[in-house]
Structure 1
Amino acid sequence: MQIKDYVGLQFFEGSFMVVLGLLPYIVFQKYVAMFLVAMVVLYVLLRVIRRSNVEKIAIHGQGVLITGCDTGFGHHLARRLDRSGFTVYAGCLDEHGDGAGTLRTSDTGRMHVLPLDVTSDTSVNSCLDYVTKMCGDNGLWALVNNAGIDFLGHVEFSTMEMYKRVAEVNQFGVVRVTKAFLPLIRREKGRVLNVTSVNGRFNLQFKSVYNMTKWAVESFSDILRLEMLKFGVKVVVIEPGNYGGITEVLGDRFMDGCQRDIATMLTSAGPDVRDCYGQDSLEEMRKNVQDPKKRLRPPSVDPVIDAMENAITLVNPQYRYLVHEGNTFLDKFCVLAILNSYLPGSWMTYLINKVV
């Protein structure tokens, strides 16, 4: 063998070993490149699909019923839709309260403020009679099930009455109002919007009473969507993120009620539960929620109202709108809600304990 042949062989062997050593990296890079290309293609497709789904309905005074318009999302949505040209039926628990009074200042002639207690068959039927009469031969374009209440409490401290009280508003109230107004919605081939929460996607301690109702409404909405397809009725879920600090859901009234509930819990709980958790555990829970760092007020409720308006006005709205709050680049609760669909339970438990 000549020297040049030996050198050539050595070069060939060296090159082969280098390529062999780099093979995993090359393969990995290939798949990374394929993944990135796939993501770019998917992103472009999503953009195209979204642009094709921005067609809006023509607004000509269609009727929209909104529950829970005293404050918060319901109140702001009622005012937005009234300005946009819809006929708004704003259901208020306290028809003589400040929220109802503000809505009555509308001069469009399309705002109707109605007493509505979603826990009462009599109240819901009375509201139905009024809306049916006002709609005449037309149906109702949209129903927005927005009314809801929050609750805090350990599983062992929360009484059965507390579970039932919250479920009567957040869960059965949605079912009661939806069943009553579906005939009007079907007539118009309209849509039903159910406002749940980011807590309808993942769970936190102290929230079993509240979260159970939101998970139930998520399930109810998915089933109703399937059943309404043949009637041309769309069912949309609105999932607000960390907006409690601006909607009064965690406001002074809630905290006063929380204090009363804590007293009831301590009285109702047996000595074993009180001794196990400690007398101060419930008060620590309340202070934890009141921590200013955890109760930052989002700049506004506009992102949620925008999502609601899209769900009402777009020809083809999304099935779900998970709405991040605007204080930070990412709403940690919404991020956890998304991850909960993909990560193992043990990972989620770790993240929730670290992040929340």
Structure 2
Amino acid sequence: MRIFGIVLLSITLFISFNGNSAHHGDANSHQKAVLVTGSNSGLGLRMTQELSENGFYVYAGVLHKDEMKAMNAMDNVTAVQFDVRNQAEIDAAVTFVEAQGRGLYGLINNAGINVFGPLLEVPVEQLHYQMDVNVYGPVRVTQAFAPLIIESKGRIVTTGSVAGIITPPIFGAYSMSKHAIEAFNDTLAIEMARFDVSVHVIEPSTYKSNIGVAAKKLMDDANYWTEDTAYPQELAYLLDALTKMDQQPDPAPVGKAALNAMQSNAPKSRYMVTGTVAQADRVLRRQISKMLELNDGQVHQFDRARLIEMLDEEIAKGSKNNPAAK
């Protein structure tokens, strides 16, 4: 039944895309192809625009069929509809991309959701939903498309978040998923190095996107964070903040980070993209404070001089690995 489903989905995808190639270019052109999941809005849309306007051909992964038309209207873009939670749909997308004849140079795991709420009150099924999309989704998609990426000696990028470093209250489920992406990226980078595939993570702060609207809808539909909460002030603050997501900065810098990760001769392992100096300061200070917390009272505790020496050594190592950083 699974094989039949994959074949049926592949046929559907072929029919959907047949006839779009006139303005999308020759499938045998020398453009490098990149798949971007969650491409129809917010960060993913900016990534898709930046890549497609700068020499790349983009397979725009979308969740819903009604999102395909707008993506297909863009030059150098073909929409591919699949759910990162559905293995059969992912496998069908692989079959479709293979049939296009371009290969696949890059993968950007960008699709994600945000489950807000106090950890004491978030139902386990909502926590599972958070992990299923934000963590297991990138794993499924990466495993499925890895042979194509390995063949092209390409690049894999995943959208993390500064929430993978700092962990605000009420963001527990989301931060847990983004902390997991940190481990996913670091391990995958080591494991893919033998295939000459580089691995990168983009870690944005808050930018304009539809994630707030989606999070509010989920809260309303699941009704898991109600007025009898032990955290009423946090609930009121969050509900107000979600209505102002469209006032956040445009995610253009995130799109440029994705382009650099795919295009640069010396791409970075991590791209922290923040809207303000204060945000960057907060994230880096938290990394430093974690180091000090780990060092405090441990059996081999290092003194201040040794910690500064370590920092200087890591700065020198970073400059050696990335001459542009000097």
Per the shorter chain, which TM-score range?
Answer: 0.7 to 0.9
Matches within 5 A, 1:62-73: 62-73=32-43
Amino acid at match of 1:300: D
Q: Deviations over 1:266-321 (max 9, x none)?
A: 5xxxxxxxxxxx82545532321244599573332111111111001002200000
Equivalent residue letter for 2:91: N
1:118-138: CA deviation from partner (whole Å, max 9, x where unpaired): 000011001000011113xx6
* 1:126 aligns to 2:92 (yes or no): yes
Q: Report what 2:273 is aligned to.
A: 323
TM-score when normalising by structure 2 = 0.75
Q: Can you give the 5+ residue segments of structure 2 that lack an aligned partner in the other structure? A: 1-28, 294-326
Q: CA deviation at 1:344?
A: 5.4
State the Cα distance separating 1:139 from its structure 2 match: 3.4
Partner of 2:218: 257
Q: Name the SS of the counterpart of 1:342 in structure 2.
A: helix
Once residues 293 and 342 of structure 1 are traced to their aligned partners in structure 2, the CA distance between those partners, rounded to angstroms, is 30
Deviation (angstroms), 1:258: 2.0
Alignment equivalent of 1:342, drawn from 288, 295, 301: 288
Matched, 1:147 2:107: no
Contact kept, 8 Å, 1:242 with 1:331, in 2: the verdict is no
SS of aligned partner of 1:250: helix
The residue that corresponds to 1:176 in the other structure is 140
Residue type at the aligned position of 1:315:
N
Seen in structure 2, the aligned counterparts of structure 1 residues 283 and 247 have a Cα distance that, compared at 3 Å, is same
Matched, 1:301 2:251: yes
Distance verdict in 2 for CA 1:344–1:192, change over 3 Å: closer
Structure 2 residue identity aligned to 1:86? F
Aligned to 1:228: 192
Q: Does 1:279 align with 2:228?
A: yes
Question: For 2:70, which of 102, 118, 131 is the aligned residue?
Answer: 102
Alpha-carbon distance in structure 1 between the residues aligned to 2:290 and 2:263: 37
SS of structure 2 residue aligned to 1:139:
coil
The 2-side partners of 1:304 and 1:318 are apart by 14
* Residue of structure 1 aligned with 2:180, choices 194, 216, 232: 216
**Which residue in the other structure is 2:158 paired with?**
194
Matched AA of 1:343: S
TM-score, normalised by the number of residues in structure 1:
0.69
Matched length? 264
Change (3 A) 1:92 1:292: closer
Structure 2 counterpart of 1:86 = 56
Query: Highest CA radius of gyration, 1 or 2?
Result: 1
SS of the equivalent of 2:35 reads: strand
Q: Is the 8 A contact 1:258 1:286 kept in 2?
A: no
Tell me how large the CA RMSD over aligned residues is: 2.3
Q: Is the 8 A contact 2:212 2:243 kept in 1?
A: no
Q: CA deviation at 1:254?
A: 2.3
CA distance in 2, matches of 1:315, 1:344: 32
